[in-house]
Chain A
Amino acid sequence: MEIVRKWIQAIMALLVNGSWSFPFTRTIYQGPLKVVCSPGLNCYSCPAATTYCPIGSLQQLMAGIRIALENGQNFFGFYVVGTMGVLGGAFGRLICGWACPFGLIQELLYKIPSKKFSIPQKLNYLKYGFLLFFVILLPLLVVDDFGYGELWFCKYVCPAGTLEAGLPMLMLQPALSQTIGIVFFNKLTILVGFIIWSILASRPFCRTACPLGAFYALFKKLKLVKLRLIEENCTKCEECHSVCPMGVKFNESPEDAECISCLKCMDKACKFNAISLEIAGLPVGRNGRIRSNPATKQSNAAV
């Protein structure tokens, strides 16, 4: 299953970055596919990007809301939030595990041999702050003399944007290097910090700073596709704790906001069919049935 997931991650990364004419055009793809929402975090100023980034678009709409209203345009972000909500309602953070290019990059970095560290659970809440303040409130409320806001998350934080758009654009258009300043170097430092952190800890950006992950996490109880704990089968052996890339203790919090449904716990760890994938409450695949194996009952009794 892990190989299938890696293939799907790679295919999704190529689909949302499928325009490879940029070495000749020296700019980004400008075709009609850019009305399609990228399910994962993928900067639309990346030269190869074929879709729009929901976080970038949402900030753009928040930042320009005053001007739009003055011009009689009711652009409140309904299309972008509607698309994000459909994705979130269907898959939630499964998208982080299966369809996010920046998630894939972090997973590959984590494979580099080094001493590994855990991430304090409290840092998980930071990403909700980024979503609320950097994506919604600051672009909406802090405006210039003309009424335009700034894209706070894109401009000051997003390491995916620096990696996928900032650095490639500097390579494609070297003249731009004369215009970079403290903001760019600050973003570069953030990128380098997350790269190093991704080698030392699993998916640090997803867990602490990704506003899209924070949005999808809001659907933890309501999403269509989710993992389910079958308590009757669980022996509380805690094997699921050790394989989770997001630090979720699945048998203790099966509806954890951090679960990216990568299926490692179900596929690699649990030997007792205590974790199943379900769609709208109905189990999918061979898992999902209560075991009548006496060994499980004995283990349960022993624990």
Chain B
Amino acid sequence: MTVESGKTSKQIRVAPFVVILIFVIMGIFGIMTGEVSRVLEQAVQVCLSCIGIG
């Protein structure tokens, strides 16, 4: 896709949108497999050994 801007014509880069879409799909797949609850479960606990204590 080309857009006129100032003195030069600019090409809209499609690649970033493709990349973002791929990761959105990946994220949705993660949500569907229930990974969100696992992330929450981990994030609400203090993992002392993870921060070098205990």
| Contacts from A to B (Cβ < 8 Å) | 27-32, 34-35, 43-45, 52, 56-57, 59-61, 68, 73-86, 88-90, 150-151, 154-156, 158, 161-162, 165-166, 169-170, 176, 179-180, 183-184, 186-187, 219, 221-224, 280-283, 288-290, 292
Q: Report B17-32 CB contacts with A as 1/0, cut-off 8 Å.
A: 1011011111111110
Q: How many A-B residue pairs have CB under 8 A?
A: 178
Q: Which residue of A lies closest to B47 (CB)?
A: A45
27 example contacts (A-B, Cβ-Cβ < 8 A) are as follows A27-B46, A31-B44, A45-B48, A52-B39, A52-B42, A56-B43, A56-B47, A60-B50, A61-B39, A77-B30, A79-B35, A79-B39, A80-B39, A82-B29, A83-B23, A90-B16, A158-B51, A161-B50, A165-B46, A166-B53, A169-B51, A170-B53, A180-B54, A219-B19, A280-B12, A280-B17, A290-B7
Q: Would you call B10 and A78 a contact (CB within 8 A)?
A: no
Contacts A73-B38, A170-B53, A179-B54 given: A89-B20 contact, CB under 8 Å? yes
Q: Would you call A85 and B16 a contact (CB within 8 A)?
A: no
Return chain B residues, CB-CB under 8 Å to A52: 39-40, 42-43
Q: Which residue of B lies closest to A32 (CB)?
A: B40
Cβ distance A189 to chain B, nearest Cβ, rounded Å: 11
Q: Would you call B50 and A151 a contact (CB within 8 A)?
A: yes
Return chain A residues, CB-CB under 8 Å to B29: 78, 82
Q: Which residue of B lies closest to A290 (CB)?
A: B7
Q: Would you call A282 and B12 a contact (CB within 8 A)?
A: yes
Please report whether the interface of chain B is mostly helix, strand, loop or mixed according to DSSP.
helix
**Number of residues from B at the complex interface, CB < 8 A:** 44
Cα(A27)–Cα(B40), bound, Å: 16
Cβ distance A30 to chain B, nearest Cβ, rounded Å: 4
Return chain B residues, CB-CB under 8 Å to A82: 23-30
Q: Would you call A176 and B12 a contact (CB within 8 A)?
A: no
Cβ distance A4 to chain B, nearest Cβ, rounded Å: 24
Contacts A52-B39, A74-B33 given: A154-B13 contact, CB under 8 Å? no
